[in-house]
With several copies, the nearest count.
Chain A
Amino acid sequence: MSHLAAFIREQRQVKPILLMTHVIYGYPSIEDSLQMMRTLLTKEVAILEVQFPFSDPVADGPVITHACHQALENKPSLAQCLLDINALAEEFPSSKVLLMSYLNPLLQFGFDKLAKAMAPGVSGVIIPDLPIDQHAMLKPLVAAKIDPVWLMIPAMDTARIKMVSEHAQGLIYCVSRKGVTGKSSDSTTAKQVLSDTLNELKPLTDVPIALGFGIASAEQIQEIIGQVDVAVVGSALINAYIEGGLSAFSDKVDSLLAA
């Protein structure tokens, strides 16, 4: 079975919920972004999600979109990104590293080539503009035991939840109902819909579940303990960096880990 799934289950033995944190490769500079990753890995964050920037990140909100465009100023290359994060994965075996990007940069790189370049250290990939219907595109990754992390949303219809559960391997990434990254949706109804959907999913699969979009504090993480295995924090960390640089970033991570 999936290394990623196994890793998460093992960690969950001791932790009520795991933290998955997000860094953009090349923001604010390639050096600093690697520094952020190091910080996170040193603090033993369970999962590190590295976003390779794309010029048109339609699923991202203003904070990450802006950060991606700044990152692109530094002309990041996907090949180098994968070398760098493989090295980190090797250096910090007690965390898992995931790649996140949009379809086109990966498509241009080529999925066969990508499968090779992600191995051995990058466990999975998140592609927000690749719908589950297109799962066949990722065959080369699956063949190489790299887990596509499919997204699901609350109130997704049953047929599609099934499709996700059938193709899920290491992790299922559940995002809040509406909008783009950085927007929290904490209306009670939204929460109700979410738990209904999770209840519909869980009987269908034993793949671990991550919940993301809009989680910015330890409190919010506390709230979802018991519902999912992994809490994803993205924009909140970038905001911390924007406000206070690397040290604020580091403090933010600590406060989240305290959850």
Chain B
Amino acid sequence: MSDQGYFGQYGGSFIPEILYSSQQQLLQHYQEAMADASFIQKVKQEMQQYSGRPTPLTYCANLSAQIGGAQIYLKREDLNHSGAHKMNNVIGQGLLAKRMGKKRVIAETGAGQHGVATALISARLGLECTIYMGAHDIERQYPNVFWMKQLGATVVPVTSGSQTLKDALDEALRDWTDSFEDTHYLIGTSCGCEPFPEMVAGFQSVIGEEVKDQAMAQIGAMPDKIYACVGGGSNACGIFLPFVGTDTELVGIEAGGSGDGVGEHAKRFNTDQARFGISQGFATKFLQDEQGQLAPTHSISAGLDYVGVSPILADLSDRGLVRMSSAKDDEVIAAFKQLMLSEGIIAALESSHAIAGGLKEAASLSVDQNIVINVSGRGDKDIFTIASALQDQPFNDFLQGYLNRQSNNQGAN
């Protein structure tokens, strides 16, 4: 798919010389593995027998009627083991790491979803696991950290810089420069140096491949439009790529955040706060200031506030093959609620961006058109964010009661 790791002007490999040989080793093993039918089969099998693929395509009769436009279908990545599409990628890279004879994997994580997925697959495959996570994110997403630790992973709080995802990625790279001999860097999204963007997008493409079959079986036609939220871009690449160049329009939805000011959103498209840049090992559109310093980001969903974006999507957007839009925090909460109340599906806040984007456009489509929205993950992980947004007092009382019981217990011990 890529040309020497390039996607148009994006991608490439811009890493310290120290990482050159391990990157070359990864590249070679990846290409060999992809040419090995038994490896592909093994990945397929683990995706089915461990993660429960295929994930269904769910028709939303109530929601479609409420909107009164296109027929709305959801691709249910929330039903993956771990509760998000992240599992597809970690299965692929986890099995590759084993094939390469690595004993250990490291990963960066923002929301903690990729961290949990990596910790899960590491337990499953018997790999040591170290997760780098911004200290700020750890504070916001501790439940995921709790599970990573329970799963036997070492979670390293990253206290440098903005203490979020990009800094976690920097730190993971630093670890890798020190550990590449026995360690695979299991990156969580379709970013980074060659072959990561292509590799992650490739493992995620199972999403779109399934949608093709399911659309034929359930709709009898390919969808008119497909919507996916875009953080680093892996779930979007996964559902988009098999449709690139077909009549299906592909729409990525970024985190519009709380406003258009610097640090209020995580849009890498449709804003002059982002432009071509090279960092974190690859070239893409980065949110940055005039000095080229990477900019702070915000989103109600920790999983979307990344400063860069997949070089694959940056290129597809330049070439007009993918359209980029965005949804603001409040639109996201509204879409989250509407889906929950009309169909009984609790989507992740990340995914709710895609839902917000899809519902907004569905209204102006005709009833004989069909759209597919990718529900990249489930929303129960977001209970603290939602409860906070809704200022749910009973939840606070419950937490207080829990804490009181805890201190009593500890008193007792």
Partner-B contacts on A (CB < 8 A): 54-59, 61-62, 65-66, 69, 72, 76-78, 102-109, 128-134, 151-153, 155-157, 160, 175, 177-180, 183
Q: Are A56 and B14 in contact (CB under 8 A)?
A: no
Distance in angstroms from A23 CB to nearest chain B CB is 18
Cα A57 to Cα B16 with chains together (Å): 11
Residue B178, interface by CB 8 Å = yes
List 5 additional contacts besides A57-B170, A153-B17; criterion CB under 8 Å. A56-B166, A66-B160, A69-B160, A129-B281, A131-B15
Q: What would 13 A/B residue contacts be, using CB atoms closer than 8 Å?
A: A55-B293, A58-B173, A102-B279, A104-B278, A108-B288, A133-B13, A134-B12, A151-B16, A151-B17, A155-B21, A175-B18, A179-B177, A180-B177
The list of the 9 closest CB pairs from A to B, nearest first, reads A108-B292, A105-B292, A179-B178, A104-B292, A55-B293, A59-B16, A55-B294, A58-B173, A104-B279
Which of B15, B17, B160, B293 is the one whose CB lies under 8 Å from A54?
Answer: B293
Could you list which residues of chain B lie within 8 angstroms of chain A, going by C-beta atoms?
Answer: 12-18, 20-21, 160-161, 166-167, 170, 173-174, 177-178, 277-281, 286, 288, 290-294
A25 to B230, CA, bound (A): 36
Q: How far apart are B181's CB and chain A's nearest CB, in angstroms? A: 9
Question: How distant is the Cα of A133 from the Cα of B160 in the complex, in angstroms?
Answer: 30
Known contacts A108-B291, A178-B178, A179-B178; decide if A130 and B14 are in contact (CB<8 Å).
yes
Decide: A129 and B16 in contact? CB cutoff 8 A. Answer: yes
CB distance A103 to B278 under 8 Å? yes
User: Cβ of A131 and Cβ of B17 under 8 Å apart?
Assistant: yes
Chain A residues contacting B279 (CB-CB under 8 Å) are: 54, 56, 102-104, 129
Q: Which residues of chain B come closer than 8 Å to A62, judged between CB atoms?
A: 160
Within 8 Å by CB of A105, from B13, B177, B291, lies: B291
Nearest CB in chain A to that of B24: its residue: A157
Find chain B residues with CB under 8 A from A179 CB. 18, 174, 177-178
Collect the chain B residues with CB atoms within 8 Å of residue A156's CB. Answer: 17, 20
Tell me if B277 and A104 are in contact (CB < 8 A).
yes
Most buried by A among B14, B17, B20, B292: B17
Residue of B nearest to A105 (CB): B292
Given contacts A78-B291, A102-B279, whether A65 and B16 have CB atoms under 8 Å apart is no
Q: Which residue of A lies closest to B279 (CB)?
A: A104
| Pairwise interchain contact A58-B174, C-beta atoms closer than 8 A | yes
> In whole angstroms, what is the CA distance A61 to B18 when docked?
14
Determine if B278 and A107 form an interchain contact, defined as CB atoms under 8 angstroms apart. yes
- B280 cross-chain contacts in A, Cβ below 8 A: 56, 58
- Say whether A157 contacts B293, CB under 8 Å: no
Contact B21 A183 (CB under 8 A): no
Q: Are B161 and A69 in contact (CB under 8 A)?
A: yes
**In the complex, which of the residues A104, A128, A179 has the most CB atoms of chain B within 10 Å of its own CB atom?**
A104
Q: Given the complex, which residues of B lie within 8 Å of A107, measured CB to CB?
A: 277-278, 292
